[in-house]
């Protein structure tokens, strides 16, 4: 029984085979077309399988590639878009494609369109809680912003910035730069959980040892 072709490959093939029929190709046009293609699939809620992007790349490199286009894959911007809009299937496929174990944390602030969204619990979309470029969180007593991922090292780079003089935001001057691995992030989360638990136990203990009111 023949393996069913995944829907992402079918959509990609359809677009690639029909481009540039009425207008001429330029590198800039090509870049924007494929960026818009991935944005449409992500924001439109198209379902991706975990292996979709890997299979698509292999398909573009195979001898069966009759339409002659190279692989034009998604980028970090599309991953950020998936996290913000809630397309968990694309987020999983992209993480698998680049070899990334997601960096998941509570207390993340997402900065988009001049607004800030704060992720604290599981009440928002399934994808939120993942760190993306531009997101900020607390690390070693600093507010840091994710600047890029180092997937080969299973790490991310996050920077702290100098506050603007009026105190309304951050300047472009970097004060500290951190390379943070998934293991370090997990250890930090565990430490925070232990502190919260011990604080709660201490509070309960104090309540339990309070003297009872004398009986009449």
Q: What percent of the chain has pLDDT over 90?
A: 50
Q: Which residues contact 22 (CB under 8 A, 6 or more apart)?
A: none
Among 51, 31, 155, 133, residue whose Cα is nearest residue 84? 133
pLDDT band, residue 215 (cuts 50/70/90): very low
Of 126 and 175, more confident: 175
DSSP 101: -
pLDDT number for residue 31: 84
Beta-bridge partner residues of 150: 155
- The answer to whether residue 70 scores a pLDDT higher than 90 is no
Q: Which residues contact 54 (CB under 8 A, 6 or more apart)?
A: 96, 97
User: DSSP string covering 143-155, please?
Assistant: EEEEEEEEGGGTE
- Ranked by mean pLDDT, the top range of 24-28, 57-61, 92-96, 109-113 is 92-96
pLDDT tier, 128 (very low <50, low <70, confident <90, very high otherwise): confident
- Which two tokens mark 206? 């104090």
Query: Minimal CA–CA distance to 104: which of 126, 86, 81?
Result: 126
- Stronger pLDDT, 115 or 211, i.e. the higher one: 115
Report how far residue 110's alpha carbon sits from residue 48's, in angstroms, rounded to the nearest whole number: 24
Could you tell me the CA-to-CA distances from 150 to 76, 103, 133, 169, 179 in Å, in that order?
Answer: 12, 12, 12, 27, 9
Cα dihedral sign for 153, 119, 140, 132?
positive
For 32-50, what is each residue's pLDDT tens digit? 999 999 999 999 999 999 9
pLDDT of residue 175: 96
Residue 88 has pLDDT above 90, yes or no: yes
Please report how the helices 76-85 and 88-98 are oriented relative to each other, as an axis angle in degrees rounded to 10.
Answer: 150
Q: Is 79 helix (H, G, I), strand (E, B) or coil?
A: helix
Q: Which of 1-5, 43-47, 113-117, 188-192 has the highest mean pLDDT?
A: 43-47
Q: What is the pLDDT of residue 166?
A: 76
State residue 213's pLDDT score: 40
In the predicted model, is pLDDT for residue 123 greater than 90?
no
Q: Give 40's DSSP letter.
A: H
100-131 as b/e: b if 16+ CB within 10 A: bebbbbeebbbeeeeeeeebeeeeebebbbbb
Beta strands, E only, the chain: 108-112, 115-119, 136-139, 142-150, 155-163, 170-181
């Amino acid at each position: 029984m023949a393996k069913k072709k995944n829907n992402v490959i079918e959509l990609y093939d359809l677009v690639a085979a029909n481009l540039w029929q009425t207008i001429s190709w330029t590198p800039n046009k090509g870049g924007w077309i494929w960026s818009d293609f991935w944005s449409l699939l992500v924001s439109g809620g198209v379902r991706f399988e975990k292996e979709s992007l890997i299979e698509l790349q292999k398909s573009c490199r195979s001898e069966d590639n009759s339409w002659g286009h190279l692989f034009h894959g998604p980028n970090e911007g599309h991953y950020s878009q998936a996290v913000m809009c809630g397309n968990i299937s694309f987020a999983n496929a992209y993480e698998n494609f680049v070899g990334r174990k997601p960096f998941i944390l509570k207390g993340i602030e997402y900065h988009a369109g001049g607004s800030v969204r704060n992720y604290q619990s599981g009440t928002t979309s399934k994808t939120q809680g993942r760190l993306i470029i531009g997101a900020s969180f607390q690390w070693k007593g600093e507010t840091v912003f994710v600047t890029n991922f180092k997937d080969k090292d299973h790490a991310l780079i996050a920077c702290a910035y100098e506050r603007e003089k009026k105190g309304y935001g951050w300047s472009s001057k970097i004060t500290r730069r951190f390379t943070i691995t998934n293991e370090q992030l997990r250890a930090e989360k565990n430490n925070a959980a232990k502190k919260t638990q011990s604080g709660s136990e201490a509070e309960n203990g104090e309540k339990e040892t309070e003297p009872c009111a004398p009986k009449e």
